[in-house]
Amino acid sequence: MKLIELAENIFFCGEKDKDRTMFDQLIPLPEGTTYNSYFIKGSQKSALIDTIYPPKIHLLLDKLEEAGIKEIDYIVSNHAEQDHSGAIPALVAKYPNAKIVTNERAKENIKSMLHIDEDKFIVIQDEDTLSLGNKTLQFILAPFVHWPDTMFTYLQEDKFLFTCDFYGAHYTTGDIWADYSENLLLAAKRYYAEIMMPFRTFASKYNQKIKELSPKMILPSHGPVYKNPSFILQAYEDWTSDKVKNKVVIPYVSMYESTKMMVDYLTQKLEDADIEVVLWDLIEGDMGELVMETVDAATLVIGVSMVLSGPHPSAVYCTYLLNALRPKIKFFSIVGSYGWGGNLTKILESLLSIIKPEKLDFVIIKGKPKGDDFLQLDALANQIIEKHKIINL
C-alpha cells in the first residue's frame, strides 16, 4: 500500500472511522471521524507525528509495513489522549529504536495510560527543535488547547503545522484535503464546540499566535488538511471572540405539550423581532448540534417539564453539559409547566455556576398556558429584545 504523499517526503498515514458513533462516550459522531497520523522522511532521520485510536492500530502498522518503512526514529506525540497516542506501545514494539518525542506533561500522561518506560522518551521544551537532516521539527507548547499536555509541531522548511486536536473536525467526506464547504465549516464548528470551547481563551490566544506564524498548511489529527489555512483561522477567530449573535437557543422537553406551547409562543415573539431562534427538542435532537448552536448565541432559554418534583432529567443533563462546555452565553431564562407541584428552576439554575449568564425572568406556570401566562411570555420576549439591543452583537 502506498502512503499518500502530501508534499515531498511528507506522508499521510491516518484512517477514517466512519462506524464510530460516539466520541468520549459523550458526543454523537454523525459521520464518524478520522485519526490522522503523518510520516516525515528526512535525509537522516524519520518521524511519525501522532498515531491512532487503539482499535485501529493494526491498520496503521499494516500501512507502514506495506509502505516498506523499516525504521522510525521519532514518534512525536502532540497530545496524550489515546485516539492519538494509543498505538505508541505497538509502534515501540515494532520499531524498538524509536524514541517518543513529547513534552513533560504528555510524557507523564502517556506513562500512566500506556505504561511506557521512561527511557523511551525525549522530552522537549517550548520552541525546541529536532533535526531530521534536511527537515527540522520545532515544538510549540500549547497547554489547555485542550489538555494541559497539548503541543503543536512545526515543520520549519515546509512551513507545515501539525496541530493535533486544534482545528480538527469529525468529518469523513471526501479525501484528506479540505473542501472548504459549508458542511466542513459546520463540522469544524461542532468540533470546536465540543472540544475547544471550554478553553476559548487559550484557543483564541493560540489562534492568534498561529496567524502570526502564517503556516502554509495546517495538518490536524482529526478531519481534513488545510492548504488554505485562512479558512479555519478566520472561523476560529469568530468563534473564540467575545462577540455573540442576535440569537436565542431554546432546548426544551415537553411531556404534555404545555411547555411546547410556551416555547413555540416565545419563539414566534422573538422571530417577529428579527431574532434568530434555535428551538431544540431535547428528546429527538442531536446534542452535538445543540452545543454547536450555542457557540455564538447571546441567550439560552431552557424549556422544561416537571418530573415528580423537579426538572425533567434531559433538561438537567443539557444544562450540566452546556455549563461544562462554557459557551459565551450572556443571558438565560427558564420557562416550563408543572402538573401538581415541585420546583423547576432551582437545580437548573445551580448548574450554570461556571458560565454564570445574567438571569432574566423565569416563566413557570401550572398546567396548560392561558391568558396571563402568555403575557408573562410577552414580557420575557421584550426583556430579551431589550438585552440584545445593548450587547456587542
Q: How far is the CB of 198 from ligand FEO (least distance, A)?
A: 12
Q: How far is the CB of 95 from ligand FEO (least distance, A)?
A: 23
Element housing 161 (H / E)? strand 160-164
DSSP code per residue over 64-126? HHHTT-----EEE-S--SHHHHTTHHHHHHHSTT-EEEE-HHHHHHHHHHH---GGGEEE--T
Closest CB to ligand FEO among residues 164, 248: 164
Task: Extract the C-alpha cell encoding 164.
Answer: 493535533
| 332 conformational bin, left if phi > 0, alpha if psi -120 to 50, beta if neither | beta
Beta strand 4-7 pairing with 33-35: unpaired
Q: How far is the CB of 169 from ligand FEO (least distance, A)?
A: 11
Closest CB to ligand FEO among residues 83, 296: 83
Which residues are at the interface with ligand FEO (CB under 6 A)? 79, 81, 83-84, 146, 165, 222
Give the residue among 245, 371, 359 at the shortest CA–CA distance from 302: 359
Q: How far is the CB of 34 from ligand FEO (least distance, A)?
A: 10
Closest CB to ligand FEO among residues 193, 300: 193
Q: How far is the CB of 127 from ligand FEO (least distance, A)?
A: 23
Q: How far is the CB of 156 from ligand FEO (least distance, A)?
A: 25
Closest CB to ligand FEO among residues 220, 310: 220
Q: What gap in Å lies between CA 56 and CA 63, rounded to an integer?
A: 11
Q: What gap in Å lies between CA 33 and CA 38, rounded to an integer?
A: 16
Scanning the structure block, which residue is given the C-alpha cell 469523513? 172
Closest CB to ligand FEO among residues 149, 158: 149
Closest CB to ligand FEO among residues 34, 259: 34
Closest CB to ligand FEO among residues 17, 83: 83
Q: How far is the CB of 168 from ligand FEO (least distance, A)?
A: 6
Q: What gap in Å lies between CA 52 and CA 208, rounded to an integer?
A: 28
Closest residue to ligand FEO in the complex (CB): 81
Give the residue among 275, 239, 242 at the shortest CA–CA distance from 392: 242
Q: What gap in Å lies between CA 308 and CA 261, rounded to an integer?
A: 21
Q: What gap in Å lies between CA 322 and CA 339, rounded to an integer?
A: 27
